[in-house]
Amino acid sequence: MLVGYKRRFEAYSTDPPRLAHFLFSIPRHQFGETLSSHFSNDHLQKMVNTRRSKISRKTQNQNTPKTCLSVVEDSDQKPTESGALIGSNDDLLTEILIRLPVTSILGFKSVSKHWRLLLSQKHFTQRYDKLSKSPGFFASNKYVPFDVENPNTPPFRSLDPYFDRSGFDILQSCNGLLLCSPDLGPKGHIAAPKYYVFNPTTKQLATIPPLLGGLKVHKTIRFMGLAYHQTDCPHYKLVCIRFLECFGEFLELFQLQTYSSDTGKWKISVESFHAIKPAFFYQGVYWNGAVFWGPYYQNYLYFKLDVEQLQTLPLPVGLPSSQIIAMYFGESRGHLHLIVRNKYQDYSLHWNVYEMLSDHSGWFVKYQLQLDELPGAFPEVVSGYGYCDLHVIDVVRGEEEENTFLVLRTPEKFITYNVHDKSYKQIFSFSTYSYMDPSIFHRYTETLSSF
């Protein structure tokens, strides 16, 4: 019987109405066993027993136990005291629901008003997002799942239905939110820029007010990026860097503006700052209260949002700034990663994955990778000139350390490489004639947070 309950729970996990009814149909003496068998959670089992005791004492003094969901009979089970147990206890409901797929959570919001309120509360969404995963990424607005054997449903097939016109591009992904913008105006002419923040999980959309100055300002924008995190930056922000003028022979002058969804306004955060020519602000990454720019050129900077100050980004010890080429710069599960190589050495398949210290003071080697077996499995990696044509698309940290992997791009395929068991897996194949710039790849992270 217990195995049957577990199978039904798994089968109903993608069918919210049936799962809701099933949760109320489990007999009292098997309810705790069913949950602990499915979740392997000692804390949940203890909570079940504790809450049952409290409800039992409460129902002795009350005629009707308080419930938050009307009970509907299942086809082959009748509701029991488990219905009251679940329905009267938001803590227990939360322990169950945070383990369900995001599609089920969205469907459960229509079960009852109480559940809709519960699933929309900040406490629940933050707990759920801490357990959420990154099931895939967007490549030129095309969704590519990491798990090709059990792919999840794409969050969307096209961005166009969610915006006021077609032709939108993803500029950045940040902890589940996307920063999007069109390249052309409605008549094909360059217009003042328009930016949107979009949650592909919930389909919530926000329009960002334009910077003052219109077309003139549009021509001076060198960077537009998104800063968001469910706990340390719950009100998303945009960071914009504008070019002002050349300053002497070797420097350029820039201005930094920020937008906060809390105030709905832009403001000048840094009136002006200098950067060495040529100044490029690529791969902006939000992590630990700051926006970082990858060390792709001679300017190594990050912007702390709380104090609104630009600071110098340190490099790994022993790597001269004049000799490095950044292969990857990005964040995953609260960790900032950097992969670099020496530009004066041959293309090597021995890489160090660096991780930044939490106080921003420096880096340490997190993973040492040796990918010598890769060309044997994917011969296209070795070009006709003898060097390796391989791009690092992403470093994805798993909830468990052994599930951490890299996403790599060869001239023909996307592949994943597990950093612990050193296994490779092809997840996507495309024409050798279709070049895809690594900067247009954006991770998809499920989030229930609203703005």
Q: Which domain holds residue 153?
A: 136-444
pLDDT bucket at 387, cuts 50 / 70 / 90: confident
Among the residue ranges 8-12, 33-37, 220-224, 317-321, the one predicted with the least confidence is 33-37
197 and 140 assigned to the same domain: yes
Residues β-bridged to residue 414? 409, 428
Name which of 369, 330, 333, 365 is nearest 349 in CA terms: 369
Nearest to 176 by CA among 441, 398, 449, 404: 449
pLDDT one-digit tens code per residue, 118-145: 898 888 998 888 887 899 999 877 889 9
User: Same structural domain for residues 396 and 270?
Assistant: yes
Whether 130 is in a domain gets the answer no
Answer whether 70's CB lies under 8 Å from 113's CB. Answer: no
Type of residue at 12: Y
Residue 106 or 197, more confident: 197
For residue 400, pLDDT beyond 80 = yes
Supply the DSSP symbol for 201. Answer: T
Task: Report the range out of 261-270, 339-348, 431-440 with the highest average pLDDT.
Answer: 261-270
Domain with residue 222: its CATH number is 2.120.10
pLDDT grade, residue 179 (50/70/90)? very high
| Residue entry with tokens 């599609």 | 103
- The pair of structure tokens assigned to 147 is 């798990």
User: Same structural domain for residues 113 and 140?
Assistant: no
Which of 53, 87, 120 is a domain's end point? 120
Task: Confirm whether 280 is domain-assigned.
Answer: yes
Q: How confident is the model over 36-57, as a mean pLDDT?
A: 45
Residues 171 and 86 in one domain: no
Domain-located, residue 284: yes
> What span, in angstroms and rounded, lies between the C-alpha atoms of 305 and 215?
27
What span, in angstroms and rounded, lies between the C-alpha atoms of 98 and 164?
A: 34
Residue pointed to by tokens 């860097």: 241
For residues 253-261, average pLDDT: 95
pLDDT tens readout for residues 205-248: 999 998 877 778 888 999 999 999 988 899 999 999 999 999 88
**Over residues 315-328, mean pLDDT:** 83
H or E element in which residue 286 lies: strand 284-287
Map tokens 């082959």 to a residue: 76
Q: In the prediction, which pLDDT does 15 show?
A: 58
Q: Residue 104: what pLDDT? A: 83
Q: Do 184 and 90 belong together in one domain?
A: no
Cα(374)–Cα(376) distance, rounded to whole angstroms? Answer: 5
Specify the range with the lowest mean pLDDT, choosing from 52-56, 83-87, 210-214: 52-56
Torsion over CA of 169, 164, 202 and 397, rounded to 10 degrees?
A: 10
More confident residue, 250 or 238: 238
131 belongs to a structural domain: no
Asked, for residue 451, whether it belongs to a domain, the answer is no
Q: How many structural domains comprise the chain?
A: 2
Same domain for 61 and 180, yes or no, is: no
**Contact between 183 and 173 (Cβ < 8 Å):** no
Give the percent of the chain with pLDDT over 90: 38
For residue 76, the model assigns a pLDDT of 42
Average pLDDT, the chain: 79
Q: What percent of the chain has pLDDT over 70?
A: 75
- Predicted local confidence at residue 36, as pLDDT: 42
Looking at the fold, whether 111 and 25 belong to one and the same domain comes out as yes
**149 and 279 inside one domain:** yes
One domain, residues 190 and 102: no
- Distance, CA of 195 to CA of 5 (rounded, Å): 48
Q: How confident is the model at residue 56 (pLDDT cuts 50, 70, 90)?
A: very low
Whether 372 is covered by a domain: the verdict is yes
Residues 6+ apart with CB under 8 A from 76: none
pLDDT at 224: 95
* Residues forming beta bridges with residue 409, ordered by sequence position: 391, 414
Q: 242 and 359: one domain?
A: yes
Would you state the pLDDT for residue 161?
79
251 belongs to a structural domain: yes
For range 311-329, the mean pLDDT: 86
Residue at a domain's end among 91, 120, 149: 120
Backbone angles phi, psi at 134, to 5 degrees: -105, 100
252 and 294 housed in the same domain: yes
**Cβ atoms 160, 168 nearer than 8 A:** yes
Q: Are residues 232 and 331 in the same domain?
A: yes
pLDDT at 133: 80
Q: Within a domain: residue 127?
A: no
Domain boundary among 120, 155, 173: 120
